[in-house]
Chain A
Amino acid sequence: MKVHHFLARDRFQTLLDALGAAGYEVIGPQVRDHAIVFAPLSRVGELPEGILDEQAPGRYRLELTDSGRLFDWTTGPQAIKPLTFAPRETLWTSERQPNGRLVFRERPPEAQPTAVIGVRACDLAALSIHDRHFLHDAHPDPHYRERRRNLLLVAVNCQRSAATCFCTATGDGPRVQHGYDLALSELDDGFVVEAHTREGQAILDALETTPARHDQLEQVEAGLERASAQQTRRLPEGALPELLQAAVEHPHWQSLNDRCLTCGNCTAVCPTCFCQTHVDALSLDGQTASHDRQWASCFDPDHSYIHGSVIRAERPQRYRQWLTHKFGTWVEQYGRSGCVGCGRCIAWCPVGIDVTEELDALSKAPDDALAKAPDGEETP
């Protein structure tokens, strides 16, 4: 049985110190460029005290309150993905020797033990999906694996939700369920802490805590219930793979042609999207080359340029491919949906396209959907 501890608010710095003393580089949430981003952290004062995030389709704003809490925000534009699946990295280099022979060299990442503070239930669910994708079978991705095995995750149970959150609909939150080392639940005067792994327990043992009281645990539960109750976005009833399969010819897809920018923002902020492209850079003298991979998006026509033509050349087809993969064929591939309900694709879409609204429209009979099309087109 897990034992819950209480860490007083004025002792929070000791957690950062304990992580540092145990050899971890600490990464945590901070306000930068009007958003919550994850960056190296050494002092508790760098954490976003009293900061709330207000999120809506195509909109993200921070607000300073006098709550004094460090984790009242919900999500930023990214969480763990860039730490494990690097946005751009060199995989190998090649060099032509004087005798003309080519020599290839691997370029493994220089990963060091890293503790991430402030990871949410949706982020952990996404990480678990990425583990399945990158670490499966006989050929795990060595770059992902190296970074992943160096991570210590200090999760946070959400005590509030943003308007874009829908993790209750995907079943991934707001309570952290698996994949973390330590979990924090923030109360006004401190944190309820639980360890989930031996590594997490070692950190917890180094802290001055008291046993958590019953009323404190009740406050945590009430906060989780509040966060759930705040969520208004839902997914259609029933199995989405079947729904999407049946909706392949749905006229609603065409409406995306007038709305979707195909800019790829949704895929770049999605914590489970993993598409990549590879580019080679040659030195001027042609003697050395580096082979890099970088994030790519299925919204870029170049991504499906095969044998002289672009597969799914039209915008609605590309949106359909993304949504149908994320909520439909993903299940067949990975045993679950590719959506963890973080709502990033809704907030960070520059024009505010909302996956939950699109799925709702696609779940309705075509005539109904047309009548509700955003261009106001009426069906007779």
Chain B
Amino acid sequence: MTTASRRPRIAVHKFSSCDGCQLAFLNLGEPLLALAETVDILHFAEAGPVDEEAEVDIAFVEGSVATSQDAARLRGIRERSRYLVTIGACATAGGIQALRNLHDADEWVSGIYASPEQIDLLADSTPIAETVRVDLELWGCPVSGEQVLGATTAMLAGHLPRVDHSAVCLECKRQQAVCVMVAQGRPCMGPVTSTGCGAICPRFQRDCYACYGPAVQANVSALATHLAATGMPAGDIARRLLFINGHAEPFRSEGRDWQARVITRSGREEEPG
């Protein structure tokens, strides 16, 4: 991608999100400085440069499409970018805000805002790929800065990176982390969640909560059935699935399936008898 005439140009755009993925990028520290010496960073509001209209070789996109302005702005970015790479759960899977897709968002808006007619909200919060073509998707909440850097390096060398979507479990084992599910009975989502995080949570004795999205061929129904057999209520299972990546299949279908098994009575969740 590097030519004698000019350095590669990159941009980092933000949509509906918490800025955490831009921060993960910023937190790279020294490698980011090295990157800045290799490429021209034309737009990266969190870091300083602002030129949203710039034509670039690689556009990183954080956040989901939640409003009609979002969608229009995104189409423009796609036209001005050679590669478009989504970074993080919001951009790749709609994010935590996609939870509203399961509910009547209009009702929420009118319940919260004094002048709901001023709120421009699409019916669903959606991943970038539902609006424009995406060349590469990087998952995570937040995305791993190292993974973004690795992807950038690969694209600068002229190819898309190989992204490992095997289960978190394999990474746990490579890191010599003891399985929190087997040794402590924690409801870990690792067996159905894509690797990429470096198995951070299990290494610190916490069960994975699936922030990197579904692993390749994730057998979500088998894990959910197992969790139910160990005594986890259907509502809890549904919440494990309908969370940061709740809009991504097969989490969405399975999560709704388990949600439907919960009977609501007198405002309190109960398990079907």
Contact = CB atoms under 8 A, between A and B. Distances in A.
A32 B170 contact: no
Contacts of A301: 216-217
Given A261-B192, A264-B169, A265-B191, A35 B178 contact: yes
Given A281-B150, A315-B217, A59 B173 contact: no
Interface residues on A, range: 35 or more
Interface string A34-66: 110100000000000000000000111100000
Given A34-B178, A286-B156, A295 B173 contact: yes
Interface string B148-180: 011011101100001011110110011111111
Contact of A264 (B153, B156, B170, B192): B170
Contacts of B205: 33
A34 B181 CA distance: 11
A164 B222 CA distance: 22
- Tell me if B's interface is mostly helix, strand, loop or mixed: helix
A286 B152 CA distance: 11
A157 interface: no
A262 B34 contact: no
Nearest to B165: A302
A295 to B, nearest CB: 5
B172 to A, nearest CB: 8
Most buried by A among B166, B173, B178: B173
Interface stretch (B15-23, B96-104, B182-190): B182-190
Interface stretch (A100-108, A244-252, A347-355, A362-370): A347-355
Contacts of A264: 166-167, 169-170, 173
Contacts of B178: 32-35, 37, 77
Given A33-B178, A348-B179, A284 B31 contact: yes
A349 to B, nearest CB: 8
B135 to A, nearest CB: 18
Interface residues of B, number: 46
Contacts of B216: 300-302
Given A262-B219, A279-B162, A295 B192 contact: no
Interface string A257-274: 011111111001100000
B166 A302 contact: yes
A257 to B, nearest CB: 8
A324 interface: no
A268 B173 contact: yes
A351 B156 contact: no
Interface string A292-311: 00111100111000000000
B198 to A, nearest CB: 11
B131 interface: no
Nearest to A57: B182
A281 B151 CA distance: 10
B133 interface: no
B229 to A, nearest CB: 9
Nearest to A261: B191
A87 B173 contact: yes
Contacts of A262: 167, 217, 219
Interface of A: 32-35, 37, 58-61, 77-78, 82, 87-88, 258-265, 268-269, 279, 281-286, 294-297, 300-302, 315, 347-352
5 contacts: A269-B173, A286-B153, A297-B166, A302-B216, A350-B181
The 3 closest A-B pairs by CB, nearest first: A268-B173, A263-B191, A87-B174
